[in-house]
Amino acid sequence: MGLKVSGDSFGGTAADDGATTSSTCGDAETGSYTTSGTVTGTISGDSLTGTMALSGDGTANLLVHGTITNDTITATYTGTGTSSDGSGTTYVGSFTLKKQ
């Protein structure tokens, strides 16, 4: 993930390649996936809020909430989407970004 900040707004790209297993999907389809998209939002003080729109092996529109401490962003995302087989999927996760 890469973000650029301009004033009180941020934006950038997100990408993920991974694998789903029975422990992460229960009885759902398991295997590998690839997804990418955009992330945009606003910054107020040490908090950020925004959205992440992903597509690839399915689509998702996710809400992002996080905090900024020194040079690090720690955030969570939640939302729903559609997996590659057309079934509904719930997304919940987190990420940490450190300024380089």
Domain that holds residue 69: 2-98
- Residue 29's pLDDT band (cuts 50, 70, 90): low
The mean per-residue pLDDT over the stretch 15-23 comes to 60
At 8, the pLDDT band (50, 70, 90 cuts) reads very high
Mean pLDDT of 6-28: 68
**What are the pLDDT digits (tens) for 41-88?**
999 999 999 999 888 777 888 999 999 999 899 999 998 888 777 778
Mean per-residue pLDDT, 23-29: 48
pTM: 0.74
Number of domains observed in the structure of the chain: 1
Whole-angstrom CA distances from 55 to 16, 21, 76, 83, 90 are 10, 20, 19, 10, 14
